[in-house]
Amino acid sequence: MARSIHFVTGTRADFGKLEPLAMAARDAGFDVHFFVTGMHMLDRYGLTKLEVARVPGVALHEALNQRDGDPQDMIFAKTLIAFSDYLAEQRPDLVVVHGDRVEAIACALSCATNYVRCAHIEGGEVSGTIDEIFRHCNSKLAHVHFVSSDVAKRRVMAMGEAEADIHVIGSPELDVHKQPSGVTLDDVKQRYAIPFDDFGIAVLHPVTSEASDMGRQARAMFNALQASGHPFVVIHPNNDPGGDAIMEVINTLPADQFRHLPSMRFAYFSELMRHAAIMVGNSSAGVREAPFLGLPSIDIGTRQTNRALAPSVISCAADDRATITRAMADHWGHRTAGDTGFGQGAAADLFVQTLNAPDFWTKSLQKRFVDDGA
């Protein structure tokens, strides 16, 4: 019987990273499942569980873990209860969690307490917010690590994880960006009613430790974009505390300059990025995917602090209009050479190679702290 691998996805963003790995595992003969929860289940964020459901040859399990306005600790508790029941029923051979979301921590903790093998994707990165705390917690709970860079590997080793359990594969979403998207820009514009020929992309997510200030930051950033006169496609923020304040600002933007959307299919978003003139905001796409595609980006605020070193990324505060204005003038439409600091676009192949290694499935689930990464 094929070994079963269960991927936990709670947002459109982590699904874009997990899908290439899941498809490669499916094609390699593994029994692949998705545990679908979080923002995927909510209408106001585009009901993106439908996008997960389009992946052929995998099983889906849905869990509603929140109502609008639930605090993160309550979402954690609901997810933990749901996933504990799920583990008891399914008993997967491997659970794969990604990054820094509260759903990932709940599922990784459930795996640890039930002695179910757990893999963590993209650990060992820094970002300067509570996301970083969540990410490091996941690294300590997981049994195996698939990281995006040698720098990330060293950080995971510094947390006492064994070098043999850490595999550098790059960022999985780059696998998708490396290949043709399968759609054209005209397809994208028609599907999402985007009227602009020359446009930027803006994505501003809440920083939970700055939730009370996110409305001010959003006004400052979007005022600067509006003053530039350039049109933008705006993707709605995620559902962390402070997101409603950002949406209040987005809902006041003039429709002739800003087209805002709850979500986009990943292939369509990839094609949009390939034709954009610039990216602005604090999404990880601005510091990982944009440099890989040669798209200049302006990184706003603290959410991605110290996460990337690509020269095409300009960092500043939301209210630093002078820097935003100058960066827009200097970099609008100026593509750069692709940056490979987060991988070469071969993560899925490296992931499956690791799964097929003779000792992958026989390693002990009893973790130990390794001093100095030895």
Q: Are 208 and 129 in contact (CB under 8 A)?
A: yes
User: Are residues 201 and 81 part of one domain?
Assistant: no
Q: What pTM, to 2 d.p., does this model score? A: 0.91
Beta bridge mates, 120? 97, 145
Tell me the mean pLDDT per 10 residues along the chain, length 374. Answer: 96 94 98 97 93 96 93 96 97 96 96 97 88 94 97 96 97 95 97 98 95 97 98 95 96 98 95 98 95 97 87 96 97 95 96 96 95 66
Q: What is the DSSP letter of 285?
A: G
The CATH number of whichever domain residue 198 belongs to comes to: 3.40.50.2000
First to last CA, the chain: 36
For residue 216, the model assigns a pLDDT of: 98
Are 10 and 133 part of one and the same domain?
yes
Structure tokens at 117: 């093998």
Same-domain status, 264 and 240 = yes
H-assigned helices in 196-331? 214-228, 243-250, 266-275, 289-293, 321-331
- Which residues, listed in sequence order, are joined to residue 8 by a DSSP beta bridge? 35
Burial class of 121 by CB neighbour count within 10 A (0 to 12, 13 to 18, 19+) = buried
Q: Is residue 341 part of a domain?
A: no
Domain membership of residue 321 (yes or no) is yes
Residue 336 maps to a domain: no
DSSP 208: G
Which pLDDT score, from 0 to 100, does residue 225 have?
Answer: 98
pLDDT in the model for residue 318: 97
pLDDT of residue 309: 78
Whether 151 and 204 share a structural domain: no
Numbers of helices and strands, H then E, in the chain: 14, 13
Q: Rounded to the nearest 5°, which phi and psi values hold at 372?
A: 60, 20
Whether residue 269 is contained in a domain is answered as yes
Q: Are residues 10 and 157 located together in one domain of the fold?
A: yes
Strands (E), 65-211: 94-98, 118-121, 144-147, 166-168, 200-203
Element (H, E) at 16: helix 12-27
99 and 197 fall within a common domain: no
Same domain, 229 and 110: no
**Torsions phi, psi of 25, nearest 5?**
-65, -40
51 domain residue, yes or no: yes
223 and 125 share one domain? no
165 within some domain = yes
Both 105 and 236 in a single domain? no
**Same domain as 323, residue 264:** yes
Both 95 and 203 in a single domain? no
Q: How far is CA 16 from CA 172, 216, 229, in A?
A: 8, 30, 31
Q: How many folded domains does the chain comprise?
A: 2
Strand pairing category for 232-235 and 200-203: parallel
* Structural domain span for residue 306: 180-331
Q: Cα–Cα distance between 141 and 117 in angstroms, integer?
A: 10
In a domain, 59, yes or no: yes
Instruction: Check residue 61 and give its pLDDT.
Output: 98
Residue 126 and residue 156 in one domain: yes
